[in-house]
């Protein structure tokens, strides 16, 4: 049972929470049954001719066995399974009637997320995808430098993300909840640390959430958070990060306008508490090797705590 320990929970193709993933799970079970039937037949014949009836076969019987069992039967069975697999492919990419459109770009070990709003504008977010349950979302995928692969096993199959090209995926989650996604194409030192959460909400909650995301960042509450904002602007964080409503307007790194409301930090690898924000800012180099963001371990502990407090407050 030990090897099956990794098959459960939030990141499992065998516990589908969406239409596309359900089709893939059914495909897996159909192929599994097909493989077991074929295996039993081949081994049954092998057992029969070697143990149960080890006499030489007549020429006719031997030819019949080779043509029937070696050519006809596998061709028919594999042909049926192939046709069934191919018939699922078109619906896996069907983005035509999508109600929501999201663009995701693979960056150096994080995910740039942009929701397309009704007026056509793009709303920036990062490292978390929110989706309405029961509705189809079109996800357009690309990458800035190397090939990544976008994979949320509980919702759909994986899709590669190529620099200079756009690929598409359809997601139709059916069950609200939080699912985990992971980059599925080796993309460098911290490939394994390139994850994200998908939060599936009711369509009403999703609309409300999207409206909130479009608002500027919350004003800092309390002295510590105020000091955090001052430090954020003073230390030059705004050269890479945007916090809408402040002078920080960099686009190299993740948009932080509502970073405190995300379920994880550092692209799916840390919990989202003020202490984790502090730890992340202080030790990016060891938490996520080769990430672009430098470690700010030269800052005083009080400044780091103020930064962590301020960022967690950006709900
Ligand atoms: Cu991105 Cu592996």
144 lines ligand 1 (CB under 6 A): no
Question: In the listed set 212, 247, 266, which residue is the last one of a domain according to the structure?
Answer: 212
pLDDT score at 113: 97
| Mean pLDDT split into 10-residue runs, the chain, 315 residues | 56 88 92 90 89 87 88 90 88 78 96 93 96 94 96 94 94 94 96 96 96 94 96 96 96 96 95 96 95 94 96 95
Does residue 236 share a domain with residue 140? no
Question: In the listed set 164, 190, 212, which residue is the last one of a domain according to the structure?
Answer: 212
Is residue 258 within 8 Å of 314, Cβ to Cβ?
yes
pLDDT score at 181: 96
Does residue 36 share a domain with residue 17? yes
The side-by-side arrangement of strands in the sheet containing 128-132 is: 128-132, 195-201, 177-183, 148-151, 159-161
In a domain, 218, yes or no: no
In a domain, 217, yes or no: no
pLDDT score at 9: 66
Does residue 288 share a domain with residue 167? no
Which ligand 1 atom minimizes the distance to the CA of 148?
Answer: 1
**CATH code at position 274:** 2.60.40.420
Cross-strand pairs, 242: 249
Measuring from atom 1 of ligand 1, which residue has the nearest CA? 148
Lookup result for tokens 């460098």: 188
pLDDT score at 8: 58
Does residue 233 share a domain with residue 185? no
Which has the closest alpha carbon to 312: 263, 269, 251? 263
Both tokens of 99, joined, read 């109600």
In a domain, 96, yes or no: yes
In a domain, 256, yes or no: yes
Does residue 39 share a domain with residue 107? yes
Which ligand 1 atom minimizes the distance to the CA of 188?
Answer: 2
pLDDT score at 118: 87
CA-based Rg of the chain, rounded to a whole angstrom?
A: 26
185 lines ligand 1 (CB under 6 A): yes
Residues sharing a CB contact under 8 Å with residue 93, sequence separation 6 or more, in sequence order: 168, 169, 170
pLDDT score at 135: 92
* DSSP at 57: P
292 lines ligand 1 (CB under 6 A): no
* SS3 track for 79-145: HHHHHHHHHHHHHHCCCCCCCEEEEEEEECCEEEEEEECCCCCEEEEECEEEEECCCCEEEEEEECC
Q: Which domain holds residue 289?
A: 223-312
């Amino acid at each position: 049972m030990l090897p099956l320990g990794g098959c459960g929970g939030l990141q499992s193709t065998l516990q589908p929470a969406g239409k596309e993933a359900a089709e893939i799970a059914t495909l897996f079970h159909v192929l599994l049954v097909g493989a077991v039937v074929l295996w039993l037949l081949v081994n049954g014949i092998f057992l029969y001719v070697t143990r149960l009836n080890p006499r030489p076969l007549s020429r006719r019987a031997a030819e019949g066995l080779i043509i029937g069992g070696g050519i006809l039967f596998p061709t028919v069975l594999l042909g049926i399974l192939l046709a069934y697999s191919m018939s699922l492919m078109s619906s896996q990419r069907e983005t035509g009637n999508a109600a929501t459109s999201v663009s995701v770009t693979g960056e150096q070990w994080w995910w740039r997320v942009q929701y397309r709003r009704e007026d056509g504008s793009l709303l920036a977010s990062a490292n978390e995808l929110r989706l309405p349950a029961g509705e189809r979302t079109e996800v357009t995928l690309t990458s800035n430098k190397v090939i990544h692969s976008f994979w949320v096993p509980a919702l759909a199959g994986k899709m590669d993300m190529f620099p200079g090209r756009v690929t598409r995926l359809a997601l139709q989650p059916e069950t609200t909840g939080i699912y985990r996604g992971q980059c599925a194409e080796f993309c460098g030192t911290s490939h394994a640390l390139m994850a994200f959460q998908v939060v599936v909400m009711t369509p009403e909650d999703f609309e409300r959430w999207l409206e909130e995301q479009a608002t500027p960042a919350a004003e800092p509450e309390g002295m510590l958070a105020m000091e955090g904002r001052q430090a954020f602007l003073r230390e030059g964080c705004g050269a890479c990060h945007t916090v809408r409503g402040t002078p920080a307007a960099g686009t190299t790194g993740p948009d932080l306008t509502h970073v405190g409301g995300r379920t994880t930090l550092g692209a799916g690898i840390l919990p989202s508490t003020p202490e984790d924000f502090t730890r992340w800012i202080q030790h990016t180099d060891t938490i996520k090797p080769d990430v672009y963001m430098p470690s700010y371990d030269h800052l005083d502990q009080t400044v780091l705590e103020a930064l962590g407090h301020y960022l967690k407050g950006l709900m």
